[in-house]
Structure 1
């Protein structure tokens, strides 16, 4: 079995990390594992395992004939059986199916705005879904939506998973005082709702002025990121809140932090929470998407409603005020993530799906 993971870019986002994680894990399970970035390379290129075959198309437009010809030739040359297309790369995968009818197409839905599915535009996706042999959804809401609105042969739920790095090389050094750092791993996108987080952290700072907030994630240099920086200034938080952009060493960054937060208004299944869990960080997060499944029942008191900075701040301060609670909560979440979101468990399920195709 030869399987190609197809993704638009290798920026440090959740869908991109999953494409790389799956390609790496499959390299130990299938005859040959491949990964293709269609539009852009990025930080995650360095995370691709050496035994994964990699292709970059440098696609410039939606119908880019040179890129299509290059991918078609590669698929035929390598005798690839399955294209596992992530997020918006479904269109290129469908074109390949039309050109090579024997291909099997798996589409993986990582849609982060699953709380606002009524706003989703999916006309082209619905047309293309006739070519999908399998649709994989990262949470139960998306699974139900796909069964109702798309035309794939089969729809199934496949949870995200994070990989524990065996060698952690530190590139990024967090500012602030060791032992008093709050970490947010989230690209600067509107759905991540950094405004909610900043407002909550302002309340935290009124009681714990020596704690700092560290935001790691891609800055798209747009109106949203500008509004985030403006709010930092308005709240007079320039000395307590730090931004690092995209970083290649998230595991090392987590080692330097003491509490992991996620303040999103909408999510699929947040990979950041799994990474916090692997790093034994206690978590405070908004209860959106499948966040509930990441935290064991004993820790769900640290899930709060979205867009309620007062509640977010209150839960953060509960952890700040109790060193022992932070330590035990982190360990309980770690065990839960290892049991339910391990690479091996997801790999076995995925191999079963592939085999049925």
Structure 2
């Protein structure tokens, strides 16, 4: 079994982390596991194991024949049978399929609401799906959408999983008081709903109890980022709210936290919640996408509607004010992750799907 993971960038993001995790985990389970990046390298390259073959295609335009040729050469030289394309990299996989029909394509949809909403390049995706041998989705809403809209007969639900990097070097010192840090691990962009989180933090007046909020994720220095920083300044939160940008030592950062929060307007299957749980954080989470399956309200965490700032304020207040609640919920979440979303469980299911595709090829 020889498989290539394909992704457009290695900047810190959920789909990107999963592509790296898949390549690493398969590296010790199948004959050949590799990773190809089409457009942009990034921090996550450091997390790719040295034993995993890697190629950067340096794609510069939508249709880039030089990048396709480089990918085709890598696939042929390494006798790769399956290309597992994550997110928007499906377009490059389809161009490869046209140039090299031998390969099988799996498309992995991570992104929740975007691909199920009208106008999100659906015409291109639907046309491309004729070249897919299977689709992997991260929640049941996406499965139903793919079965209705894509020209592929095999659609499989497969949960994400998280890996704790035991060799990670601690680089980031998180500010604030021990035992009173709230971590939000999300790139600074509108769907991640940081504005609601900042409003809730302000309204609860958490800073009066020495609580602090830490925003960790890519800062594009754009209008959205400027709005958040202006809000922090206007509400005199500079001593209690901190923006770190992209960081390579996520596990080390989470180990310094107390509460993990996710406020997104939409999600597919957020790896962030799994990372919070494995790090032992108590979690307050949006209830969109697959979040409600991981964070079962009152059992493995507290949930809220991402348009309801009062609800988020109340949940933060409750979690911050009850140490025993934090302890019981964090332990319950860690147990659920180990039982249902472990690396071993997901990899076994994935390899079975690979085998089914290869067997179909031989018929």
TM-score range, shorter chain: over 0.9
Match in the other structure for 1:21: 21
1:354 aligns with 2:357: no
Deviation digits for residues 192-247 of structure 1 (CA, Å, limit 9, x no counterpart)? 00011000100222574410000000012222112211221222211110000001
TM-score by length of 1: 0.97
Aligned 8 A contact 2:2 2:32 in 1: yes
* Counterpart contact for 2:182–2:261, Cα < 8 Å: yes
Matches within 5 A, 1:179-328: 179-205=179-205, 208-296=208-296, 298-299=298-299, 302-328=302-328
Aligned twin of 1:102:
102
Q: Is the 8 A contact 1:36 1:54 kept in 2?
A: yes
Structure 1 runs of 4+ off > 6 angstroms?
none
> 2:164 aligns to what?
164
Contact 2:295 2:301 in 1 (8 A): no
Partner of 1:137: 137
Does the residue aligned with 1:6 lie in a helix, a strand or coil?
Answer: strand
Cα separation, 1, equivalents of 2:188 and 2:332: 29
1:321 offset after TM fit, Å?
Answer: 1.1
Unpaired segments of 5 or more residues in structure 2?
358-363
Residue in 2 aligned with 1:43?
A: 43
Partner of 1:331: 331
- Quote the offset at 1:114 in angstroms: 5.1
- Aligned equivalent of 2:360: none
Q: Name the CA distance, whole Å, in 1 between partners of 2:116 and 2:74.
A: 38
- Whether the 8 Å contact between 1:3 and 1:82 is mirrored in structure 2 is yes
Partner of 2:361: none
Describe the superposition over 1:71-111 as per-residue Cα deviations: whole angstroms up to 9, x where unpaired: 11111111000000000000000011111111000000012
In structure 1, runs of 5+ residues without a counterpart are none
Aligned length: 357
- Counterpart-to-counterpart distance in 2, 1:7 and 1:115: 17
- Give the superposed CA RMSD: 1.5
Where does residue 11 of structure 2 map in the other structure? 11
Distance in structure 2 (CA, Å) of the matches to 1:316 and 1:115: 31
- 1:180 and 1:211 in contact (8 A); partners too: yes
| Cα distance in 2 for residues equivalent to 1:191 and 1:241 | 20
SS at match of 1:244: strand
